[in-house]
Amino acid sequence: MDRRAVILTVFCGYLFTDMLIRHMPLDWRYLLVAAIVGAGAYLVVWKRAAWPIPMKSALTIYLLGMWITAALSVSVELSAYQFLLVAIYVLTYLVVLGLAMVWMPGVFLDGLRNASWVLIVAVAFITLYSAATGGGLRAPAANVLAALFNLLLLSTLADLFVERPGNARVVWLIAAFALVFVTASRGGWLGLTAGLLVLAARRWERLSDYWSRARPFFFPTIVALVAFAAVWQIASDGHSTRRDFWTMAAAITIRYPYTGSGPGTFNLFWSQLYPPPFWQAMHAHSIMFNTAAEQGLLGLLALAVIAVAVLRAAWRDDGLLAAVVAFGVHNLVDSLDKAPAVMIVLAVLLGSRLAQHEFVAEAHPTTG
């Protein structure tokens, strides 16, 4: 294994472990900021590197929109924390973009996959223990796990069209698909389906023979599954349903239509209506509803700008495009921008995959 992949494996393994058990001796934010500063110094001082920055304008607009809504928040302290998290994600993207221009870009995905075995083993143990004891134990942070592995799965699957996978990668793919299945995350399944459809459409020539046999059954099955999931979600009872979250988010949006109540403040309103011991919702379980509630019209416009920029930047990379589509579709029924582990993985994938195309362009410039 490349020594750079070893470093990334250890670092990402720590972050993934922190995601599972929630409390570590060293706060992951300090570790991540230290890593960003160190990697930035390595690039600027030792490598004296300069690199293009895709999506620079869109990222600036998004950060500016979040800063304005945080400054006008009903709780500046909570919103400042959310702004810090977003700034860390953007810095991670920028540093990975630079590192991937001087390293081989593929080591980042290798490191993420290797580190993800921590999660695969942990979820396998939980699932087997639950089955053996007859309990109903579910993998922790199920939606987060599904979203994270969707990003890695789709990026890896796209590479299979370019190179033949080794046995270790095949085993990882099987284990990763199994993990997404056992999370029982309906949003995760929906996102993975959308990503696979995008990947299939982009690799149509290679898949056309299989498609001609499956086509009569495909769309009726997908429509039936999506309709069933939507009705089940909306009609189900209990305070953990999306219907309650979205109703609360709509009420907050009506009260604060332009700049929202402030990033990270959804729970302030939820806890007023459902005080403990009810389950406390930290977000509206939909990036659209949550952004509308916490950042209003300004936040929705900034979100649209960054979404379009990401899709345009990812268009040249089939795996990255499928991964961000899966992330976006899953986000319709969840707020994955509130999950640090998922956002860090997304930032690493964006930085490394976009740099890969810049790397190729430098090595093989076009002549005209």
Local confidence band at 71 (pLDDT 50, 70, 90 cut-offs): very high
DSSP per residue, 298-341: HHHHHHHHHHHHHHHHHTT-HHHHHHHHHHHHHHTTS-GGG-HH
* Three-state secondary-structure class, residue 94: helix
Of the listed ranges 78-82, 289-293, 356-360, the one predicted with least confidence: 356-360
Supply the Cα-derived Rg of the chain in whole angstroms.
21
Whether the predicted pLDDT of 315 surpasses 50: yes
Local confidence band at 130 (pLDDT 50, 70, 90 cut-offs): confident
**In this predicted model, what pLDDT tens digit does every residue of 174-233 receive, in sequence order?**
899 888 888 888 888 889 989 988 888 877 666 565 556 556 666 676 667 666 666 655
DSSP state of 25: S
Whether the predicted pLDDT of 38 surpasses 60: yes
Local confidence band at 324 (pLDDT 50, 70, 90 cut-offs): very high
Whether the predicted pLDDT of 355 surpasses 90: no
Q: Do 138 and 32 contact (CB within 8 A), yes or no?
A: no
**In this predicted model, what pLDDT tens digit does every residue of 138-181 receive, in sequence order?**
677 788 899 999 999 999 888 776 666 677 888 889 899 888 88
pLDDT at 290: 94
pLDDT at 39: 73
Task: Count CB neighbours of 73 within 10 A.
Answer: 25
**Residue with token string 């309906």:** 186
Instruction: Tell me which of 255 and 270 has the higher pLDDT.
Output: 255
pLDDT at 218: 61
Instruction: Tell me which of 155 and 15 has the higher pLDDT.
Output: 155
**Residue with token string 């900034």:** 302
User: Would you state the structure tokens that stand for residue 106, as one six-digit string?
Assistant: 């593929």
Local confidence band at 368 (pLDDT 50, 70, 90 cut-offs): very low
Whether the predicted pLDDT of 239 surpasses 50: no
DSSP per residue, 127-191: HHHHHHHT-----TTHHHHHHHHHHHHHHHHHHTTTSPPPHHHHHHHHHHHHHHHHTT-HHHHHH
User: Would you state the structure tokens that stand for residue 231, as one six-digit string?
Assistant: 């009705």
Q: Do 180 and 146 contact (CB within 8 A), yes or no?
A: yes
Per-domain residue ranges of the chain: 3-363
Bond before 277 cis per omega within 30 degrees: yes
Whether the predicted pLDDT of 42 surpasses 60: yes
DSSP per residue, 238-250: STTSHHHHHHHHH
